[in-house]
Structure 1
């Protein structure tokens, strides 16, 4: 999971679950992407989507997305993104305390990754960032910002 510099592997447990969670981007993410809001209330435009399952004491989550085209493109800052309908189904089936195993891997052959270049003048939410550092990987010293997402209404 995660784009270059934010990949990680390891075992965590789901420590909390939330429906339509609020989003507070970590300081490190705001430093990389100063155009981000400091708070976003839960709802259809929120980057955490319809449901979030919090992994251990990390800032990583399994969550929905309002940008389904990013799924499988290795653009997150370490979170596991799912279609809102899929994360809602999983949310209903797992309990707090469920073990989550993140295994190493790479993009499937022929899978393109999204560009990390910012969109000039754009603003908006982005996936969660690693605040406490990756669980099983290493953190880069310089990370380019993700492009600003597009909200479709």
Structure 2
């Protein structure tokens, strides 16, 4: 778990030098931060609020670590309750048949997959969302090589974080973790 000393030293380091992802400087508003939360949330869960483009990793004492995210565009975002069924570092990626059908000019070339690496759409880490009876939903919480898309509804349904932030979250989240993706507000991408 992230403790106060680690968090303060992380903040001090980030204040001394802005986080740069490639040639892109991540805005301060998109940096992880511990926030108070209202209500009864069990520690060790992930809650995604698409209207705020925020992912919350719940902690004891009505606190959470908030990460800025991007979410699925249009009707590709799927609200619901999931569990982390798999975790992968530098995962390979294969577009779904629906993605290829929607945008063949963009995805057909990757129908046999793309190895993990810095240009891979799943980024540095991926948490795979599962549901009972269905198994893998093909929804992911993952990194992105396009950090400038954080704070928008642009993905094919997944929740995306800056690569350094998914690495930070990934180390805290065990398999079996409960994940809640809340509904998108009307009119959001």
What TM bracket, shorter-length normalisation? 0.5 to 0.7
Please state how far the C-alpha of 1:7 moved relative to its aligned partner. 2.3
Correspondence for 1:76: 155
CA RMSD of aligned residues (A): 1.8
Higher helix share: 2
Distance in 2 separating the partners of 1:67 and 1:106? 24
Q: Distance in 2 between matches of 1:101 and 1:79?
A: 13
- The counterpart of 2:183, out of the listed 104, 111, 114, is 104
Structure 1 segments, 4+ long, off by >4 Å, are none
Give the drift of 1:33: 1.4
Q: Distance in 2 between matches of 1:90 and 1:106?
A: 25
Residue in 1 aligned with 2:137? 58
Corresponding residue for 1:2?
72
Matching residue of 1:41? 115
Q: What 5-or-longer segments of structure 2 have no aligned partner?
A: 1-70, 131-135
Determine the structure 1 residue equivalent to 2:90: 20
The structure that has the greater radius of gyration is: 2
Q: Deviations over 1:45-64 (max 9, x none)?
A: 00000000000020000000
- Secondary structure of the corresponding residue to residue 49 of structure 1: coil
Structure with greater strand share of residues: 2
User: Which is bigger in relative contact order (C-alpha 8 A, separation at least 6)?
Assistant: 1
**Paired residue total:** 110
Report the TM-score when normalising by structure 2.
0.55
- Residue 69 of structure 1: how far off its partner (Å): 1.2
